[in-house]
A and B are shown apart, each in its own frame.
Chain A
Amino acid sequence: MSDTEHLVKHLPNDIGGAGCHEKISITERPLYPWEKRCHALLDVLDYHKIVNTEEKRRGTENLGTEMAGKLTYYEKWIVSASNCLLQKGILTPDQIADKTKEVSERFNIKM
């Protein structure tokens, strides 16, 4: 076995029984408004089969181990959705670049 093939075969989301011993942090919080909108967006994308739920999951699984470990739950969702929409040719890189710049400026955020 090559020393890297497990990275291909074993996806970073597949963690059942896999060596995590930390205590569970049992806290409650409401979702941020954008997180709920993100959830609703992905539901709507699934209804129209623009990006279905399994595609979105694949997208979160294929972000790579570093992003999988560092991004929060809905951060992964929106990056996954963006990648899926790009891969399917529904959006282009230019459109995302231009729109994120426009939205940032709307909020007076320097990109």
Chain B
Amino acid sequence: MQIVHHNPARFQVGNMASVAVRYPIGHYRVPMYLRGKQVEIIRILGRYINPEEEAFGRNAGSKIWSYLITIPQMKLWPNYMGDENDRLEIEIFEPWLEHLKISNNE
């Protein structure tokens, strides 16, 4: 039987993306400090039930892509005291990621 992939991953390793600025209520898995930041995809982790829906009792059904992303600490925190090469890595689900609107050579 041919497997049809209805929802291929929208981001690839090496892509830059923006973390959406949006506010679900009740439960979320994207910390405030990350919202609106520009991040780089470094690993496609697979597909999972959306934890923000799981928190309201959905235990089965469609799954969404999850990615490991990285961002320089300097871009996260004003007056970051460590080294400029220090980074943060975190897992993030596809609904929270947006393609960059304009090319960016940062």
A and B directly contacting (CB within 8 A): yes
Q: Interface code A82-97, partner B: CB below 8 Å = 1, 0 otherwise?
A: 0000001000000000
Return A9 CB to nearest CB of chain B, in Å.
4
CB–CB A54/B51 < 8 A: yes
Give CA–CA (A17, B37) in the complex, Å. Answer: 15
CB–CB A55/B32 < 8 A: no
Interface of chain B: mostly helix, strand, loop or mixed: loop
Tell me whether B20 is interfacial, beta carbon within 8 Å: no
8 Å CB contact of B32 from A14, A49, A53, A62: A14
Give CA–CA (A93, B11) in the complex, Å. Answer: 47
Which residues of A have CB within 8 Å of B57? 52, 55, 88
Instruction: State which residues 5-30 of A face B: CB under 8 Å.
Output: 8-11, 14, 16-18
Instruction: State which residues 40-67 of A face B: CB under 8 Å.
Output: 49, 52-55, 57-58, 61-62
Contacts A17-B77, A49-B59 hold; do A55 and B23 have CB atoms under 8 A apart? no
Give CA–CA (A20, B77) in the complex, Å. Answer: 14
Chain B: interface residue total (CB-CB under 8 A):
17
CB–CB B28/A17 < 8 A: no
Which residues of B have CB within 8 Å of A88? 57
Which residues of A have CB within 8 Å of B54? 52-55
Which residues of B have CB within 8 Å of A10? 32
Contacts A16-B33, A17-B76, A17-B77 hold; do A11 and B28 have CB atoms under 8 A apart? yes
Return A28 CB to nearest CB of chain B, in Å.
27
Which residues of A have CB within 8 Å of B26? 58, 61-62
Contacts A10-B32, A17-B76, A17-B77 hold; do A57 and B25 have CB atoms under 8 A apart? no
CB–CB A16/B31 < 8 A: yes
CB–CB A52/B59 < 8 A: yes
